[in-house]
Structure 1
Amino acid sequence: MTDLTELSDLERRIIVALQVDGRATWRKIARVIGEPERTVARYGSAMLEQGKVKIAAISHRAGAVIASLSCAPGTIPVASQALSARTDTSFTYMVTGESDVVSELHYDGGLQDILTLQLPATPGLSNIQIYPILKYFKTIRAWRGGELSQGQEAALSPSAGGELIAWNPIGELGESDHLIIDVLRKDGRASIEAISRQVRMSETSVSRRVDWLLRGEHISIRALVDPALMGFKVEALLWVQVSPADVDALGTLLAGLPQVRYVAAVAGDAQLLVDVTVPTQRDLYEFIAKTNWGEMVQLRTSMVLGARKRGGQPAES
């Protein structure tokens, strides 16, 4: 179980640096944020060991959908756990409102078996709605739990593997690539030497393949942290109904707001799904009331009660 006591200022700055580049060395992070390397390494390593932050690779797949589930009484934990156990889900939240569980699912190829056989077999399911994702405006890869200066962010930004809102993987994956990805899913900071030992390849070959996987848009490296640890104790999903002509402008506006962790255009009775994290419910009210939503917008708000999975990794609870 992760200790949800809020992090210190130094710990938060280290995590923000990892959100920019999860594979940055402690030396590089220390230089950019202006702290002793030994101190940064000690605090950073401790947070990784305690599970307060995880660094993991996530594979880019051809398509994604949002599954919104209603469950029979008393079965919400079972249903959310079943979805989080799937290897193709990236996040799974227990929520308030019209649905009980919301999960993002990624896929290659067809959806028929997933939608007609697999998801309907979820334990406790009473009703399901599927929202195909049409476009990402922001993923959690771009969310920051704090602020760095423009110069610090630029100094830390990786040459490959940064925020992507669309991807077109180049080239076919080989058996060795899948092995490397499996290692990076478990530990996105695994050294080239450590990966080399596990996949039984030379360090030169591993280094070259990791770079190819990142530059070829096959994977991204993400820093995963519970927003509550960063002081954002309230999380909500906003289902936004807006005129089709206004979707792009509103999605772009929302993506630039620091309170927004994630925003995607979806197909269904809502046009945008927005994940918002703020310190208090009052802050959520202020965000909803003062954001320039434009005309003819309707919102449905679901509070996140708990996360079973974030960024493709089980969430500690």
Structure 2
Amino acid sequence: MRDPLGETDRRIATALIATPRATWRELAAVVNLSERTVVRHVAPLYADKTLRATAIQNPFRHPGIRPTALRIRCRGEQSTSIAQALARRSDILSVDTLGGGEELMAIVFLDGATSRDDLLLRALPSGTSWSTYRLLHVFVSRLDLAPLTSTPPALSDVDSALIHALSQNGRASYRELARQTNVSDDTARRRLETLLSMHAVRPVTEVDLTLLGIEAEALLWLNVRPAALESTGLALAAHPSVRFTAITTGPTNLLAAVFAPDMNEMLGFLTDTVSEIPAIMANETTPILEVVKRSGLLRRGRVR
């Protein structure tokens, strides 16, 4: 496993998480380094896949797709094989092993009843049990992903091709995107800017958070007063220790993914931040033991 990143690499990686498609010049201004220094540091990080650039489609812009959190309980000896089998599926965005290894959580983009039945009734082995949480509204940092109040404009074949190309390389140039989708550079730029402005796709910089000094991650399964769901979701999503929050169906109604330098800091987040939100009536915290897949990308060495 790679050693944690040095201070300069960590600053650059953190800036790229915030702005995945920033130019090197823009990035240099953010981290207060020369453009040449930024390129010298960042090139090997992408080359050895310490940093990976991808993109995630917004499921709420794709009628028929049902974003769902799947919480699976299984025998400890089953967890590795189940996690790996789930991670290989293209319709699953992320897979985490929770607690002491007897639980898994996956984010899946279900495409209709057939996809649901194939996953729940055929892909999962006997002896497992699960709970499903339909994601009704997602807050990612300061980006609000929500079901639309009206039917979204249909994506063209070019739009779908651009989203796919961007998922393969979230930092692909307009020229490269144009080449892959058989359109002009100007068309690729214009269509991608439109897709980004309507939040149909979200560029992502993926990195193992332990390389940034983050040793503790957890999921919070929250029960929140219904009238305060949106305000609570927004408040948590704005916190720098929160990756995302989602309003859900199921046994709880708000899911939050959080991280901290260590478990003591995680405790501080729970006691100083979560406990101060009066609308939160109950919370179950499950530590993330291992990340198997995130942002649609398999973690190196976790899936054979």
Q: Do both share a fold (TM > 0.5)?
A: yes
- Measure the CA separation in 2 of the matches of 1:197 and 1:295: 50
Corresponding residue of 1:152: none
Corresponding residue of 2:146: 166
Q: Encode CA deviations 1:244-277: one digit per residue, 9 max, x unaligned.
A: 3343333232222221111112112112111110
Corresponding residue of 2:63: none
- Identity, % of aligned pairs? 27
**1:242–1:218 Cα change, 3 Å:** closer
Contact 2:222 / 2:280 at 8 angstroms: preserved in 1? Answer: no
**1:279–1:286 Cα change, 3 Å:** same
Aligned partner of residue 145 in structure 2, secondary structure: coil
RMSD between aligned alpha carbons? 2.3
2:284 aligned to which of 290, 296, 300: 300
**1:31–1:283 Cα change, 3 Å:** closer
Does structure 1 residue 102 correspond to structure 2 residue 105?
yes
**1:167–1:211 Cα change, 3 Å:** farther
Corresponding residue of 1:53: 51
Aligned partner of residue 14 in structure 1, secondary structure: helix
Aligned partner of residue 133 in structure 2, secondary structure: strand
Query: Greater CA deviation, 14-23 or 92-101?
Result: 92-101
Contact 1:242 / 1:298 at 8 angstroms: preserved in 2? Answer: yes
- Over 6 Å off, 4+ runs: none
- Measure the CA separation in 2 of the matches of 1:117 and 1:210: 33
1:23 aligned to which of 21, 24, 30: 21
Please list, as runs of the form range in 1=range in 2, the aligned pairs for 1:79-118 lying within 5 A after superposition: 79-96=82-99, 100-108=103-111, 110=112, 112-118=113-119
Aligned partner of residue 270 in structure 1, secondary structure: coil
- Measure the CA separation in 2 of the matches of 1:164 and 1:192: 26
TM-score with structure 2 length normalisation?
A: 0.87
**1:295–1:219 Cα change, 3 Å:** closer
TM-score with structure 1 length normalisation?
A: 0.83
**1:268–1:82 Cα change, 3 Å:** same
- Measure the CA separation in 1 of the matches of 2:263 and 2:156: 48
Corresponding residue of 1:201: 183
- The one-letter amino acid of 2:17's match is Q
Q: CA deviation at 1:123?
A: 4.2
- Measure the CA separation in 2 of the matches of 1:256 and 1:206: 32
Contact 1:69 / 1:100 at 8 angstroms: preserved in 2? Answer: yes
Q: CA deviation at 1:316?
A: 2.4
- Measure the CA separation in 1 of the matches of 2:296 and 2:196: 17
Contact 1:264 / 1:272 at 8 angstroms: preserved in 2? Answer: yes
Q: CA deviation at 1:6?
A: 1.6
Aligned partner of residue 81 in structure 2, secondary structure: helix
Aligned partner of residue 164 in structure 1, secondary structure: strand
Corresponding residue of 2:297: 313
Contact 2:245 / 2:254 at 8 angstroms: preserved in 1? Answer: yes
* Residue segments in structure 1 that go unaligned for 5+ positions in a row: 143-161
Q: CA deviation at 1:83?
A: 1.7
Query: Greater CA deviation, 272-281 or 23-32?
Result: 23-32
Corresponding residue of 2:229: 247
Aligned partner of residue 262 in structure 1, secondary structure: strand
1:231 aligned to which of 201, 213, 224: 213
- Measure the CA separation in 2 of the matches of 1:42 and 1:98: 39
Contact 2:76 / 2:102 at 8 angstroms: preserved in 1? Answer: no
- The one-letter amino acid of 1:114's match is S
Contact 1:18 / 1:223 at 8 angstroms: preserved in 2? Answer: yes
1:67 aligned to which of 61, 66, 70: 70
Contact 1:241 / 1:271 at 8 angstroms: preserved in 2? Answer: yes
1:280 aligned to which of 241, 262, 266: 262
Q: Encode CA deviations 1:34-61: one digit per residue, 9 max, x unaligned.
A: 2111110111121111212212111111
- Measure the CA separation in 2 of the matches of 1:208 and 1:296: 43
Contact 1:55 / 1:221 at 8 angstroms: preserved in 2? Answer: yes
Q: CA deviation at 1:127?
A: 0.8
Aligned partner of residue 171 in structure 2, secondary structure: coil
Residues paired across the two proteins, number: 291
1:190 aligned to which of 172, 176, 184: 172
- Measure the CA separation in 1 of the matches of 2:118 and 2:95: 19
Q: CA deviation at 1:221?
A: 0.7
